[in-house]
Chains A and B, each alone.
Chain A
Amino acid sequence: MSTATVNPGSASTWDRVRSFTPPPRYYPILATLALFIGLFGLGGMRYEGFSDPQVLLSLLIDNAFLIVLGVGMTFVILTGGIDLSVGSVVALSTMIAAKTLQMGWSPYASITAVLLTGTVLGLLMGLLIHYFDIQPFIATLAGLFLARGLTYLISVESISISDDTFTQLAFKTVYIGEYYIRWTAIIALATVAIAAFVLARTRFGRTVYAIGGSESSAMLMGLRVAFTKVGVYVISGFCAALAGLLFSLYILSGNSLHAIGMELDAIAAVVIGGTLLTGGRGYVVGSLLGVMVLGIIKTLISFDGTLSSYWIRIITGLLLLAFVVVQRFATRRRS
């Protein structure tokens, strides 16, 4: 047989370490990691204070919401779908949080309301997609309009958040030696960890990959395709709501103009993180790295000072192009 391997156990541990080459499925994520390290090194060489570990921690803090958004988007894209509604759901979440707090709700009730809304929206979109065969992008486009419209329905004006619990939560920091990290970042990392576990070690997670690989095969294998397909949109909706909460902690206001185009950032982060847009391949940790790459480009540009912020979008687009084209050729060769 073509790929017969040595019997595991016959080689010594050292042999295995020495001859270790990562399986091809990890190449994209390693490329992203190398890109991140490269950019970090570049910054460290060019700008004073860039190589400070706190820069890395700040990256996590500043992009906590995007990380969570990327987690939900990863689930959806892994099944071969897409979710355009997440930016609007973030805006809606900030607005629900701000409005309910303004109305005097307890912060916990407010948080519950936000998470519930996002989840239900995700559920509705998932049902439309699976049971009526509506293309994911058009169903989530409806979600985009719906969530944005609901945001305006609640308030056209910006509402600031002054609730004590929220502000405390927003600035709550944990010190690691002389460096600090905010709770929001820890929540984001926890989300990544849970998602990674679900994707790697549960039947639901493996079914997500199976659907992305071949939905008809998954069906013929007797897997729970309907449940899983709807499930990923529920997860994406929940993650968008959670991201919205983190965003409202970050920005301490609810505004219907928040997070316009954020779905594009999330999609870009997922793709740059090595997830195949056609589904089936990718890791949630890659999406975390994708967010970090986008974040560090932002930081580099702000350290530089002479470059304008629009370069972020152009560079993001170029990275997207590079990843999409390379993936295209990689998958074409395989088939």
Chain B
Amino acid sequence: MTQMTTPPEVVAPPEGERSPVIEMRDISITFGAVRALDRVSLRLFPGEVHALMGENGAGKSTLIKALTGVYTIDAGEVIVEGEPHEFHSPAASQEAGISTVYQEVNLVPNLTVAENMMLGREPRRFGAISVRDMNRRARRTLLHLGVDIDPRSTLDEHPIAIQQLVAIARAVDVEAKVLILDEPTSSLDADEVEKLFTVMRRLRDEGVAIVFVSHFLDQIYEIADRMTILRNGKLVEERMVAQTTQLELVRSMIGRELETLDRLDCEAPKTDAETGVPVLKAIGLGRKNSLEATDLELFEGEVVGIAGLLGSGRTELARLLFGADTADTGELTFRSERRKLRSPRHAIDRKVAFSSEDRKAEGVVGDLTVADNMLLALQASRGWLRPIPQAMRTQLVDDYIAALDIRPADPHALMRNLSGGNQQKVLLARWLITQPEILILDEPTRGIDIGAKAQIQAKVAELAAQGLSVVFISAELEEVLRLSDRLVVMRDRRKIDERVNADVSVRDVLEIIAGEAHPEPQAEPQSEGATHV
């Protein structure tokens, strides 16, 4: 990436020329060799809901953590009400009036609702915490937000949505000037979201600046006034929500990398494979608060691409197909065998392979060698009593190191010392060694260099040509379109469209995701908020 990016466009402040309560200017944060934030700016005005948008790795979490004092800023400044501030701890940020509610409820489940709201600032009488005062104050705050629960009850007696509201109640009890809500809706149902929005509107009207992170576009258009869009650690633009079409938004978030397109000279032969028995067939596959009932068919030698934003259900679907999570509803049929997947083992036994989007946490075994990492899945299938013979080990490992151009080409190198792209290739090798019939790749090219990316794409195309069925998930639409024979588009935890990939353009997909295209008959009807322009 070069330093010569065009300066991001910044729109004029909202009506009345108010001054921002918080202004973050040119913030940069570096982790080791990774530049997580590159001169990003953010302005928050009192009495607005400000959406922070971006895909995985865009830098949303990092920006929030910079503002809340969890991370230290390398360059740039934070200005609170005209005064420069430096936050070195969450406590310091809270003192400046910035309160945060994280995606996973960051409260303590074992204490009461009131205590969770008041921990660290409990009302005291004669040095002792006054439980009665605490409960009374907690109840008042909760009622103010329209939440009618007993503050004396233990937090974990309540559903996540209520816990989320308690977290907000804690945040506003300090009379916060800024309230950061980091994906508060990711596990809520529609009613609960509405409840949350009511509370948010009330707080906004009281002059609180709310930062709202959500992957649900409808929600953004329903609640947010302004938004800041990030991509790859950089600021794309700041816009008014009402003046931005969903198409523009989606395009800003996803962006495109033309280099990739140029480098991929291996065009996947598009097959019309929808004949015969599907290798894998899912009917009504779903899981509570994660994925609505979804159908999917996968034929031999076919690449099915799944397009959709983060949180659209693309990863959730992949995990259910592999048994990484267990499905609540629906059924899976492998060729002609119906099977419920209760663990990845069941899927692997049916020749399914899955490479997770979270390479570090769910793929790489860092302290083992490249060879061990490659052979892990095959060895796990054989059981520990039947080790892979040495000759076969060497053969397999050398073959795949050469075939995938893994560097360093040293089977004894420790996995954690490899670059992301090479780690990804090793993980791909891990599964190819098991000779799968179905390969599910969830963002196999995220965060790796262009060269490795093109190599992986070429490999996928080659494998499909040899008869392997592939489910390919990526946030980059070009990549999905390039590789897939058939395209599944997801949004808001469900499949909204499915079509054969013939002359489908990025723009078409963006329009489908943005809800502006007319979906093909098989898709479900669109929701109301989606037609907002």
Residue pair B150, A206 in contact (C-beta under 8 Å): no
Q: How many angstroms from the CA of A214 to the CA of B102 in the assembled complex?
A: 14
Residue pair B108, A217 in contact (C-beta under 8 Å): yes
The stretch of A117-125, A195-203, A266-274, A319-327 in contact with B is A195-203
Q: Which of B67-110 contact A (CB under 8 A)?
A: 70, 89-91, 94, 100, 102, 106-110
Residue pair B150, A207 in contact (C-beta under 8 Å): no
Residue pair B111, A1 in contact (C-beta under 8 Å): no
Chain B residues within an 8 Å CB radius of A3: 149-150, 153, 157-158, 162
Q: Does B159 contact A (CB under 8 A)?
A: yes
Chain A residues within an 8 Å CB radius of B102: 220
Q: How many angstroms from the CA of A322 to the CA of B102 in the assembled complex?
A: 36
Q: Does B115 contact A (CB under 8 A)?
A: yes
Residue of A nearest to B121 (CB): A203
Q: Does A290 contact B (CB under 8 A)?
A: no
Complex partner residue of B120 from A1, A203, A214, A280, CB under 8 angstroms: A203
Residue pair A23, B150 in contact (C-beta under 8 Å): no
Residue pair B106, A281 in contact (C-beta under 8 Å): no
Q: How many angstroms from the CA of A209 to the CA of B108 in the assembled complex?
A: 8
Chain B residues within an 8 Å CB radius of A222: 89-91, 94, 120
Residue pair A210, B111 in contact (C-beta under 8 Å): yes
Complex partner residue of A202 from B108, B109, B119, B129, CB under 8 angstroms: B129
Residue of A nearest to B128 (CB): A201
Q: How many angstroms from the CA of A213 to the CA of B105 in the assembled complex?
A: 12
Q: Scan B141-165; emit 1 where CB is below 8 A from any A CB, else 0.
A: 0000001111011101111001000
A217 with B111, Cβ < 8 A, contacts A3-B157, A202-B128 known: no
A214 with B158, Cβ < 8 A, contacts A203-B129, A221-B119, A222-B90 known: no
Q: How many angstroms from the CA of A210 to the CA of B122 in the assembled complex?
A: 13
Residue of A nearest to B95 (CB): A222
Complex partner residue of A206 from B115, B154, B162, CB under 8 angstroms: B115
For this complex, into which size category does the number of interface residues on chain A fall? 20 to 34
Q: How many angstroms from the CA of A19 to the CA of B31 in the assembled complex?
A: 57
Q: How many angstroms from the CA of A100 to the CA of B522 in the assembled complex?
A: 88
Complex partner residue of A213 from B100, B111, B148, B170, CB under 8 angstroms: B111
Chain B residues within an 8 Å CB radius of A214: 106-109
Residue pair A217, B120 in contact (C-beta under 8 Å): no
Q: How far does the Cβ of B316 sit from chain A's closest Cβ, in whole Å?
A: 20
Q: How far does the Cβ of A157 sit from chain B's closest Cβ, in whole Å?
A: 47
Q: How far does the Cβ of A160 sit from chain B's closest Cβ, in whole Å?
A: 43
Residue pair B122, A206 in contact (C-beta under 8 Å): yes
Q: Does A212 contact B (CB under 8 A)?
A: yes
Residue pair A203, B156 in contact (C-beta under 8 Å): no
Q: How far does the Cβ of B187 sit from chain A's closest Cβ, in whole Å?
A: 14
Residue pair A213, B150 in contact (C-beta under 8 Å): no
Q: How far does the Cβ of A21 sit from chain B's closest Cβ, in whole Å?
A: 13
Q: Does A25 contact B (CB under 8 A)?
A: yes
Residue of A nearest to B129 (CB): A201
Complex partner residue of B111 from A2, A4, A209, A334, CB under 8 angstroms: A209
Q: How many angstroms from the CA of A142 to the CA of B340 in the assembled complex?
A: 50
Chain B residues within an 8 Å CB radius of A202: 127-129
Most buried by B among A24, A213, A221: A221
Residue pair A223, B110 in contact (C-beta under 8 Å): no
Residue of A nearest to B150 (CB): A5
Q: How far does the Cβ of B40 sit from chain A's closest Cβ, in whole Å?
A: 22
Residue pair A223, B119 in contact (C-beta under 8 Å): yes
Chain A residues within an 8 Å CB radius of B170: 221
Q: How many angstroms from the CA of A255 to the CA of B145 in the assembled complex?
A: 63
Q: How far does the Cβ of B444 sit from chain A's closest Cβ, in whole Å?
A: 30
Q: Scan A300-334; emit 1 where CB is below 8 A from any B CB, else 0.
A: 00000000000000000000000000000000001
A213 with B110, Cβ < 8 A, contacts A1-B147, A3-B149 known: yes
Residue pair B90, A210 in contact (C-beta under 8 Å): no
Chain B residues within an 8 Å CB radius of A201: 128-129, 131
Residue pair A209, B110 in contact (C-beta under 8 Å): yes
Most buried by A among B106, B115, B131: B106
Residue pair A220, B150 in contact (C-beta under 8 Å): no
Chain A residues within an 8 Å CB radius of B120: 203, 207, 221-224
Complex partner residue of B110 from A23, A207, A212, A216, CB under 8 angstroms: A212
Q: How far does the Cβ of B454 sit from chain A's closest Cβ, in whole Å?
A: 39
Chain B residues within an 8 Å CB radius of A217: 106-108
Q: How many angstroms from the CA of A3 to the CA of B119 in the assembled complex?
A: 22
Q: Scan B220-236; emit 1 where CB is below 8 A from any A CB, else 0.
A: 00000000000000000
Q: How far does the Cβ of B405 sit from chain A's closest Cβ, in whole Å?
A: 39
Residue pair A216, B111 in contact (C-beta under 8 Å): no
Residue of B nearest to A78 (CB): B110
Residue of A nearest to B147 (CB): A1
Q: How many angstroms from the CA of A220 to the CA of B71 in the assembled complex?
A: 12
A220 with B106, Cβ < 8 A, contacts A2-B159, A197-B128 known: yes
Residue pair A334, B156 in contact (C-beta under 8 Å): yes
Q: How far does the Cβ of B135 sit from chain A's closest Cβ, in whole Å?
A: 9
Q: Which of A215-247 contact B (CB under 8 A)?
A: 216-224
B-binding residues in A (CB < 8 A): 1-5, 23-25, 197, 200-203, 206-207, 209-210, 212-214, 216-224, 280-281, 334
Q: Can you name 28 A-B pairs with beta carbons within 8 Å?
A: A1-B148, A1-B149, A1-B162, A2-B162, A4-B148, A5-B153, A23-B154, A24-B154, A25-B110, A25-B154, A202-B128, A203-B120, A203-B122, A209-B108, A213-B111, A214-B108, A217-B106, A218-B119, A219-B90, A220-B90, A220-B100, A220-B102, A222-B89, A222-B90, A222-B120, A223-B120, A280-B108, A280-B109
A-binding residues in B (CB < 8 A): 70, 89-91, 94, 100, 102, 106-111, 115, 119-120, 122, 127-129, 131, 147-150, 152-154, 156-159, 162, 170
